[in-house]
């Protein structure tokens, strides 16, 4: 009994902390001294570019999904910032793709005179790694008539809420869209149609895809035949409960009745808060999923909730894994890289 009890306590303790007792956590592919949070990943010219949260946003480049990775610099050139943007605050969750306008980046930034809430702007560059220069003095997405946002986010549940987590999506017919989240609770995920260049909305109001009483954010959409698969992050980002979920629908505009499935949790991966995920094709013709998770101290050991609560220094690092698809468009995570 003396030998069994410590083992039992170890299992119970690991479950309480939200980490599995049966397997070692995978290591990150990129873990610099600063946080690598909310990755939006672009594959271009045989390299991966990860756009992450930080001052003016951050760009990192990987020769392969597993690395080696290195910092490129700031995502945005804010020498001449747009009139609506408060440049004293971090840029959140930028993401980019290539269109007829070159490389186009979407970013969420605090808007002036908006109570700390955010709007979504657009910037362009001639190279995938930037720097990206904001276009125009008005945001692409900004609630109400504030700052002249092209998409005014009609019908949002909280009138004072801003918008974050922009994520571009192109369907099988080449039509372009932008997904994003409305801040505050209840959380909603929305989508707006864009023009072919991806710089402006196409004239139709954005629509709500789904709503949650709690937190749902970081939307990413993939089309698989007639199915649309929506990935998102659930729960609070600042602890180990943060998780990645997915939903599937034949209607790109409606996930309200779709079943929500867990894709990655702390208990299933050994990571602390596996979220902020983005999905991209890979160099070998398959798919990869990139995400962040919390590590504590100066190394790369996943945090426990108690460490975060106790104020142990912690930061987010970048993980990558193989993403598999079944014939019915069910995603599953394979080996971590």
Confidence at residue 23, expressed as pLDDT on a 0 to 100 scale? 56
* Alpha-carbon span 103 to 94, nearest angstrom: 13
Q: What is the pLDDT of residues 291-302, one digit of tens each?
A: 999 999 989 999
- Do residues 145 and 133 touch, judged by C-beta distance below 8 A? no
CB atoms within 10 A of CB 204: 9
In whole angstroms, what separates CA 115 from the centre of its chain? 23
| Residues in the chain where the model's pLDDT stays below 70 | 1-23
In whole angstroms, what separates CA 191 from the centre of its chain? 15
Q: What torsion, rounded to 10 degrees, do the Cα atoms 99, 203, 247, 21 define?
A: 60
Domain ranges of the chain: 4-71+215-336
Confidence at residue 24, expressed as pLDDT on a 0 to 100 scale? 79
* Alpha-carbon span 11 to 19, nearest angstrom: 9
- Do residues 74 and 130 touch, judged by C-beta distance below 8 A? yes
Q: Would you say how long the chain is, in residues?
A: 337
- Cis status of the peptide bond prior to 59, with omega within 30 of 0: no
Element spanning 191, H or E: strand 187-194
Distances (CA, A) of 90 to 54, 109, 118, 126: 5, 7, 11, 23
* Alpha-carbon span 124 to 221, nearest angstrom: 22
Going by C-alpha positions, the residue among 246, 250, 274 that lies closest to residue 260 is 246
Q: Which long-range contacts (CB under 8 A, 24 or more apart) does 67-72 make?
A: 67/29, 67/30, 69/29, 69/30, 69/318, 71/32, 72/129, 72/130
- Do residues 291 and 29 touch, judged by C-beta distance below 8 A? no
Residue 196 structure tokens: 């072919």
Burial class (CB in 10 A: 0-12, 13-18, 19+), 326: exposed
In whole angstroms, what separates CA 169 from the centre of its chain? 13
Residues with a known catalytic role: 38, 217
Confidence at residue 19, expressed as pLDDT on a 0 to 100 scale? 42
């Amino acid at each position: 009994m003396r030998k069994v009890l410590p083992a039992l306590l170890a299992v119970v303790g690991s479950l309480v902390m939200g980490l599995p007792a049966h397997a070692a956590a995978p290591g990150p592919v990129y873990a610099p001294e600063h946080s690598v949070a909310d990755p939006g990943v672009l594959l271009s010219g045989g390299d991966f570019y990860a756009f992450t949260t930080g001052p003016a946003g951050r760009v990192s480049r990987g020769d392969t999904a597993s690395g080696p990775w290195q910092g490129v610099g700031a995502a945005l050139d804010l020498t001449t910032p747009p009139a609506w943007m408060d440049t004293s605050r971090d840029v959140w969750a930028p993401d980019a793709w290539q269109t007829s306008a070159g490389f186009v980046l979407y970013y969420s930034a605090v808007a002036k005179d908006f109570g700390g809430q955010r709007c979504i702007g657009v910037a362009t560059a001639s190279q995938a790694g930037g720097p990206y220069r904001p276009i125009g003095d008005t945001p692409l997405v900004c609630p109400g008539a504030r700052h002249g946002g092209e998409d005014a986010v009609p019908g949002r549940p909280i009138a004072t809420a801003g918008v974050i987590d922009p994520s571009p999506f192109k369907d099988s017919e080449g039509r372009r869209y932008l997904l994003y989240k409305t801040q505050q609770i209840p959380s909603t995920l929305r989508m707006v149609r864009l023009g072919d260049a991806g710089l402006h909305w196409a004239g139709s109001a954005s629509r709500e895809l789904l709503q949650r009483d709690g937190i749902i954010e970081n939307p990413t959409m993939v089309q698989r035949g007639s199915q649309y698969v929506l990935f998102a992050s659930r729960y609070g980002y600042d602890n180990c409960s943060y998780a990645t979920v997915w939903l599937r629908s034949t209607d790109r505009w409606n996930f309200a009745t779709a079943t929500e499935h867990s894709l990655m949790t702390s208990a299933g991966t050994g990571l602390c808060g596996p979220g902020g995920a983005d999905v991209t094709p890979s160099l070998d013709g398959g798919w990869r999923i990139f995400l962040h998770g919390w590590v504590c101290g100066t190394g790369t050991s996943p945090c426990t909730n108690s460490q975060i609560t106790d104020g142990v220094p912690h930061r987010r690092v970048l993980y990558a894994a193989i993403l598999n698809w079944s014939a019915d468009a069910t995603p599953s995570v394979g080996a971590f890289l």
